[in-house]
Structure 1
Amino acid sequence: MLQKKYFNKMHLALKFSYILIGFSYSFLLLNKIYFGIALLTGIILMMVLNPPNKIYFHFSNKKLNFFFITFLIFLSCSTINSIILIRSISVEVYLILFILLGLNLFFYIQKKPEAFHVIIKILIISTILNIIIICCYNLINYETYKTFSYILRFKGILNIITILILILTFFKNKTYLYLPIIFLIPSLVLSDSNAPFLGILSGLFFYLIFFFTNKIRFFKKTVFFSLITILAFLSFKNLKNLPSKFDSQSITNFEFKIPTELIDPHRQFIWGFSLTKFKNNLLLGYGADTSNFINDSQKIIGHKTTGDMTFISSHPHNFFIEILLEIGILGTFSFIFFILFVNYEIFRNANNREKFFLIFFNGYFWGASLVNFSFWLGWWQGSYFFILSLIASKIFLKNKTN
């Protein structure tokens, strides 16, 4: 009798851990710290109550381990070289923890698929509730939109809620899961959230590249690398049009060559300033999460279009420029290769439908990050590895059942 009561309590506690994980993004609506506490508590509680066979500190693939360790070495070198050591150490530690947490969640789910199915059901319910709450809040506060042209309350959070809504049908292929898009569109418009739209376009663009190169029978690799080269060339050409001189006269006389409707004046100065500073520390950068502590970063720009804004108020608002500036060429490209190979291993095991969602998710996340939060923002960074772990779990579980 006592044993049965104990078992029932354990089972109830395990269900509670699933609820914490599945509803973690509902906690994000309240507070970013609540989100982190809910997600971490849920995963740790789940693994304590129903322990995995082992804890993983490395990948099962040798190539992946090589890229992971290489990235960690270069990131650690950048941290040692940091202008603010403590700040860089802290963000390096939680980045490693996010990666390992995502890795262990993946292996846990492979052994205990019943946990995955329950978590996904709860996550779907919470995501639908979240977008209904956001939409209702924005509609109720429509007068604020008419006055200021945007509603700020959930603007940032919509970046992650958007991708969750768009990949619901990946986890459960049901027509009714397209319905939350009805609530998503007005929420994005009323919040004036541009990053999700860029993310959606990026996700579709990268999938179209994959789709068309996959249809070409000959010279697939040549066509693919040609497209990448053209993109790199166009990006480099536009970067040359950013501000590059920052004395008061040059700033006053600067004329924008990149349309300010496309990239606002403040971002153009931030990116130009960041790339100029990057040249002083090419290999290792200034240290993770230190860009707003670089010399002159808090200096007021002084252009008529930027008011009292500084060169880097908090971060460069572009993940690629940010990590180039902070962890240098070595850290940046070792990270990119690591992420590419992680996704490649998932991609190799996916069917065509799953490949679409994997490419779209990555295109969305990194595309939105080009005009978005700091790369080191905990809930944003953690969300990438958490969602990627769920996507990988779904793909590999399908292969097991087949």
Structure 2
Amino acid sequence: MSVWALGLNHTTAPLDLRGRFAFALDQIAPTLHSLRSSFEGAGRGRHPQVEAAIISTCNRTEIYCAADHMALDHTVGWLAQSGGVSPALLRSHAYTLHDDEAARHAFRVASGLDSMVLGEAQILGQMKDAIRAAETAGALGSTLNQLFQRSFAVAKEVRTATEVGAHSISMAAASVRLAAQLFEDLQQTRVLFVGAGEMIDLAATHFAARQPKSIVIANRTLERGEKLASRFGGEAMRLAELPARLAEFDIVVSCTSSTLPLIGLGAVERALKQRKHRPMFMVDLAVPRDIEPEVKKLEDVYLYTVDDLAQVVQQGQASRQAAVAQAEVIIDAGVQSFMHWLDQRDSVPLIQQLNAQADDWRAAELARARKMLAKGEDIDTVLQALSRGLTQKMLHGAMAELHAGDAAAREQTAQTLSRLFLRKER
């Protein structure tokens, strides 16, 4: 049995490309049906029993498959076609993994080690939803079920035994942490995000987890702002509206590619006056700056730049690395356990055949014994015949092999038979 994975995420592919391969939860079942149907038509039925699962979030899309024969090229071709790109383009932004590498990746994703935010728990819930969808669609077999159930167990152990989830490495997380120091209850705050790129996406994800009163995305392209805002139940507005509405917001996080500041000192001063000098928390994640540096001098504004946040992020670096190292040890053990189970699965058909053959022999000898008893044969004679018949059937093939072939083959057979049948009881 082979296991393979194909994926692209925030480290390998730009947002627009990832968007081509995003599948909403209600699209998982029909998408899996399409994928599995494509396998049935490939290679003249060589892959009719492919197990499949799709994990799709804002930061990643990953396909996991299991079958007797690996079909990675076909998986790449199918996904490329579904996203309307060439297989070559997809491969340049994707990663392909198989067997232990695929298992390790799944375990790391579930444990939050492959996330934009180290140790974040959201991905685990998203994975569980995706696996339930695959199971409901009838696409999840015993192999992938084992893979993901073990990944969930490993993730639980990582979170219980390490402090991975307690040490975030992102500037977005640092922003939330600092904002929480200023505002007693973030649920009572109104948050404005300026821009709609990956950094704002991440920052919005962090702040949304704290359930603020409102979230607004201000972006030059309204459509892109609306798309991001819709994920958080927020509102979108044009950048041109920013000066007039700035006073509405307690928290402002900005990260655009503008070469000039978008938020000037005068605009902030007017906003503070409208707010009657209630404090504003502002984060400028852009390089060059989105917010004029003079804003930091205002008494009721708490402005943090990329450099300021970098210092916060660096705190606890040693603790984070120690936690990651502990998590990797747990994951290594999980991978080894899964691969051992997978290797054993290769023997299952043979074991089933041996059990079936033994049952046939047993049934035949029992039928013969019952006939002998019906004829009035002595019970000891019947038992002797039954045991003799079973042992002869069991040893017939081994004896035939022992007398077949050349000397070297007979010697190898003799050693195997000795190991199987002449083991000393300990």
Give the TM interval when normalised to the shorter protein.
under 0.3
TM score, norm. by length of structure 1? 0.24
Instruction: Mark the structure with the bigger radius of gyration.
Output: 2
Greater relative contact order (CA < 8 Å, ≥ 6 in sequence) = 1
Q: More helix by proportion, 1 or 2?
A: 1
